[in-house]
Amino acid sequence: MDIAQALDVVEEEKLKSEIASFLKDFMTPAFGSLPKREIELRVFDLMRNLGIVKTEATIYSLMTDLMVTRTKASQLIFDLEIRQYGSDQERLDELIKQALINTKFAKDGDYFVMEIENPLTLAHMRQRIREIGHFSDTSFNSALVRAPLDTVTDLILNIIPNDQHEAIKDALVNAGAPDNSVKAVIKGALKTLGSKVIGEAADQVAEGIVDNSASFLGPLVNAVIEQIRDQWQDLFASGAN
One domain, residues 114 and 230: yes
Exposed/middle/buried for residue 129 (C-beta within 10 Å: 0-12, 13-18, 19+): buried
Number of domains into which the chain is organized: 2
Rounded Cα distance, 5 and 65, in Å: 14
The conformation of residue 137, written as its DSSP 8-state character, comes to B
Rounded Cα distance, 104 and 74, in Å: 19
One domain, residues 115 and 211: yes
One domain, residues 16 and 43: yes
One domain, residues 107 and 182: yes
pLDDT value at residue 21: 93
Would you call the peptide bond into 178 cis, given omega within 30 degrees of 0 as the criterion?
A: no
One domain, residues 156 and 111: yes
One domain, residues 102 and 177: yes
User: Which residues form the domain of 32?
Assistant: 3-85
pLDDT value at residue 198: 53
One domain, residues 95 and 25: no
Q: How far is CA 44 from the centre of its chain?
A: 21
Of 49, 65, 85, at which residue does a domain stop?
85
pLDDT value at residue 69: 95
Asked if 205 contacts 143 with a C-beta cutoff of 8 angstroms, the reply is: no
Element (H, E) at 126: helix 119-131
One domain, residues 54 and 16: yes
One domain, residues 135 and 230: yes
Of 58, 85, 112, at which residue does a domain stop?
85
Rounded Cα distance, 18 and 155, in Å: 38
One domain, residues 154 and 40: no
128 C-beta neighbours (distance < 10 Å), count:
19
Asked if 144 contacts 117 with a C-beta cutoff of 8 angstroms, the reply is: no
Rounded Cα distance, 207 and 214, in Å: 18
One domain, residues 118 and 232: yes
Ranges of residues in the chain whose predicted pLDDT is under 70: 105-109, 139-140, 196-212, 238-241
Rounded Cα distance, 156 and 119, in Å: 20
111-115, strands of its sheet edge to edge: 105-108, 111-115, 144-148
In 3D, which of 76, 56, 52, 78 has the Cα closest to residue 65?
52
Asked if 192 contacts 176 with a C-beta cutoff of 8 angstroms, the reply is: no
The alpha carbons of the chain give a radius of gyration, in whole angstroms, of: 21
One domain, residues 19 and 130: no
Element (H, E) at 111: strand 111-115
Of 51, 85, 119, at which residue does a domain stop?
85
